């Protein structure tokens, strides 16, 4: 079957990658006092934390201690509607906050930093994307969760990495041709696994794009018993060495369930917090982002996820600033593609949650 990598005219914009923010160090006493203040604020405001595995471990721990959610983007999307909390505080990146708001327009959705975006989202502006869809009206439009509300509003389906394969397989079996955006690596992987006819947008994740197949192959030789875990936003030359390819939840499950003692992990190293929690005796090694002496923009840690910290979380709960807003008309359109995914997940018992959570 066909995968057409297309060149857009004009090409998607170059995405400017911010520096990693540097947060002032906190003593153990300062950190514990700050956490207690945040817990009191959450309780007083009937608010709950919804955190991604890539954010700082302190935030993930706090989300768990306060009865919130730490998850992949599929479960983060589902979770907001399952809680009675009136405020969702999304510790992650902008598209996660927008998805929570679209699905729960009656709730207040806050984020520590509204500037926490994503290179995939930034690299797929709604006007260019809409023109791309207009040029291919015969195709079913499937977009990755890592997109703006306006892009989701133009889509038939939204998918996350945890559910992309079964949904594309389902559409392919129905004889549908796909227009896929924005991550070309995930799109290519899904095409190879399903044989579907997919037309790809040219976006990529700046974090996963930096993993290098040749360096991974060398590292694998040094650790012959290590299992290699790869997120499918990584390039094909990295995916070829994977023992497990999957969403963040799937990679965490692999560490907990496989018998190996060592793992080479090709995704954001924020995920190590949860992996260590579930498998404290296993050795985790970051996949190489480049050859010897080379530099990289993200070094296996998303600069936008790093904009979330205890300090700005407290601030946002005090001020109520950084409320996520979505234009209501856009939200009404966008919810259709998201809900279609959630309904498919429920009907096929596909979950982004870890077992027992
Ligand atoms: P998951 O849905 O696998 O958690 O991935 C989200 C993401 O942004 C990966 O870079
Ligand atoms: Fe986006 Fe990549 Fe960051 Fe995930 S890791 S939020 S895909 S830039």
Dihedral sign computed on CA atoms, order 213, 215, 218, 224: negative
What's the confidence (pLDDT) of residue 13? 76
Task: State the distance from the centre of ligand 1 to the C-alpha of 30, rounded, in angstroms.
Answer: 31
Q: Closest Cα to atom 8, ligand 1: which residue?
A: 146
- Burial grade of 156 (CB within 10 A; 0-12, 13-18, 19 or more): middle
268 ligand 2 Cβ < 6 A: yes
Q: Report which ligand 2 atom has the smallest distance to the Cα of 118.
A: 1
Backbone angles phi, psi at 165, to 5 degrees: -60, -55
Is 1 a residue whose pLDDT tops 80? no
Mean model confidence pLDDT for the chain = 94
118 ligand 2 Cβ < 6 A: yes
What's the confidence (pLDDT) of residue 297? 61
Q: What is the pLDDT of residues 252-299, one digit of tens each?
A: 999 999 999 999 999 999 999 999 999 999 999 999 987 555 556 667
Residue 238 counted as domain residue? yes
Question: Which ligand approaches the C-alpha of residue 308 most closely?
Answer: 2
Question: Which ligand approaches the C-alpha of residue 205 most closely?
Answer: 2
What's the confidence (pLDDT) of residue 122? 96
Is 29 a residue whose pLDDT tops 80? yes
What's the confidence (pLDDT) of residue 296? 66
What's the confidence (pLDDT) of residue 286? 94
Residue 175 counted as domain residue? no
Domain housing 249: 208-286
Strand partners, 89: 49, 110
Mean pLDDT of 311-322: 98
Task: State the distance from the centre of ligand 2 to the C-alpha of 16, rounded, in angstroms.
Answer: 13
Mean pLDDT of 70-90: 97
Q: Report which ligand 2 atom has the smallest distance to the Cα of 303.
A: 3
Question: Which ligand approaches the C-alpha of residue 246 most closely?
Answer: 1
Q: Closest Cα to atom 5, ligand 2: which residue?
A: 302
What's the confidence (pLDDT) of residue 254? 98
What's the confidence (pLDDT) of residue 11? 64
What's the confidence (pLDDT) of residue 298? 63
Is 9 a residue whose pLDDT tops 60? no
Residue 25 counted as domain residue? no
Residue list, ligand 1 pocket, CB within 6 Å: 72-74, 146, 160-162, 205, 231, 233, 247-248
Q: What is the pLDDT of residues 153-196, one digit of tens each?
A: 999 999 999 999 999 999 999 999 999 999 999 999 999 999 99
Pick from 61-65, 194-198, 209-213: least confident:
209-213
Q: Report which ligand 2 atom has the smallest distance to the Cα of 302.
A: 3
What's the confidence (pLDDT) of residue 156? 98
Q: Which of 77, 146, 350 to mutate to test the pocket of ligand 1 (most atoms within 8 A of CB)?
A: 146
Q: How many domains does the chain have?
A: 1
pLDDT-derived band at 15, boundaries 50, 70, 90: confident
Residue 301 counted as domain residue? no
Residue 277 counted as domain residue? yes
Which residue is associated with the tokens 């300062």? 30
241 ligand 2 Cβ < 6 A: no
pLDDT-derived band at 356, boundaries 50, 70, 90: confident
Residue 43 counted as domain residue? no
What's the confidence (pLDDT) of residue 5? 58
Q: What is the pLDDT of residues 138-151, one digit of tens each?
A: 999 999 999 999 99
Residue 126 counted as domain residue? no
Task: State the distance from the centre of ligand 1 to the C-alpha of 143, rounded, in angstroms.
Answer: 14
Question: Which ligand approaches the C-alpha of residue 229 most closely?
Answer: 1
Pick from 65-74, 107-116, 283-292, 323-332: least confident:
283-292
Q: CATH number of the domain that 249 lies in?
A: 3.40.50.10800
302 ligand 2 Cβ < 6 A: yes
Which residue is associated with the tokens 């170059």? 14
Residue 113 counted as domain residue? no
Contact 206, 12 (CB under 8 A): no
Long-range (24+ apart) CB contacts under 8 A made by 185-190 are 185/209, 185/232, 185/233, 185/234, 185/235, 185/236, 185/239, 186/144, 186/161, 186/232, 186/233, 187/3, 188/3, 188/5, 188/236, 189/232, 189/236, 189/239, 189/245, 190/164, 190/165, 190/232
> How far apart, in whole angstroms, are the C-alpha atoms of residue 74 and residue 161?
8
Q: Closest Cα to atom 1, ligand 2: which residue?
A: 118
Question: Which ligand approaches the C-alpha of residue 269 most closely?
Answer: 2
205 ligand 2 Cβ < 6 A: yes
Mean pLDDT of 58-83: 97
Contact 88, 109 (CB under 8 A): yes
120 ligand 2 Cβ < 6 A: yes
Pick from 22-26, 223-227, 246-250: least confident:
22-26
Q: Closest Cα to atom 7, ligand 2: which residue?
A: 205
144 ligand 2 Cβ < 6 A: no
Task: Give the percent of the chain with pLDDT over 90.
Answer: 90
Mean pLDDT of 315-329: 98
146 ligand 2 Cβ < 6 A: yes
> How far apart, in whole angstroms, are the C-alpha atoms of residue 350 and residue 163?
7
Mean pLDDT of 120-126: 96
Task: State the distance from the centre of ligand 2 to the C-alpha of 268, rounded, in angstroms.
Answer: 8
What's the confidence (pLDDT) of residue 10? 56
């Amino acid at each position: 079957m066909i995968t057409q990598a297309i060149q857009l005219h004009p090409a998607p914009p170059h995405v400017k990658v911010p520096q990693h923010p540097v947060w002032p160090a906190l003593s153990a006493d300062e950190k514990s006092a700050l956490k207690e203040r945040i817990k009191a604020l959450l309780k007083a405001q009937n608010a709950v934390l919804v955190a991604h595995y890539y954010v700082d471990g302190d935030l993930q721990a706090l989300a768990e201690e306060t009865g919130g959610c730490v998850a992949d983007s599929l479960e983060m999307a589902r979770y907001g509607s399952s809680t009675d909390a009136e405020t969702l505080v999304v510790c992650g990146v902008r598209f996660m906050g927008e998805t929570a708001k679209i699905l729960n327009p009656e709730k207040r959705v806050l984020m520590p930093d509204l500037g926490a975006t994503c290179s995939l989202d930034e690299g797929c502006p709604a006007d260019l994307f809409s023109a791309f869809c207009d040029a291919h009206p015969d195709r079913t439009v499937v977009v990755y969760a890592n997109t703006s509300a306006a892009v989701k509003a133009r889509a038939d389906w939204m998918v996350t990495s945890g559910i992309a394969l079964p949904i594309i397989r389902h559409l392919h079996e129905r004889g549908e041709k796909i227009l896929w955006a924005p991550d070309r690596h995930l799109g290519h992987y899904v095409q190879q696994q399903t044989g579907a006819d997919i037309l790809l947008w040219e976006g990529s994740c700046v974090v996963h794009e930096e993993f290098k197949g040749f360096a991974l192959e060398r590292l694998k030789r040094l650790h012959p018993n290590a299992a290699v875990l790869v997120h499918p936003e990584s390039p094909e030359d990295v995916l070829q060495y994977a023992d497990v390819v999957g969403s963040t939840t799937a990679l965490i499950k692999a560490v907990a369930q496989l018998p190996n003692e060592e793992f080479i992990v090709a995704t954001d190293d924020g995920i190590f917090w949860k992996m260590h929690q579930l498998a404290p005796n296993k050795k985790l090694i970051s996949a190489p982002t480049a050859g010897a002496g080379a530099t990289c923009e993200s070094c296996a840690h998303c600069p936008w996820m790093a904009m979330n910290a205890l300090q700005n979380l407290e601030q946002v709960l005090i001020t109520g600033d950084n409320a996520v807003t979505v234009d209501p008309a856009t939200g009404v359109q966008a919810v259709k593609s998201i809900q279609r995914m959630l309904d498919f997940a429920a009907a096929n018992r596909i979950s982004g949650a870890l077992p027992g959570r």
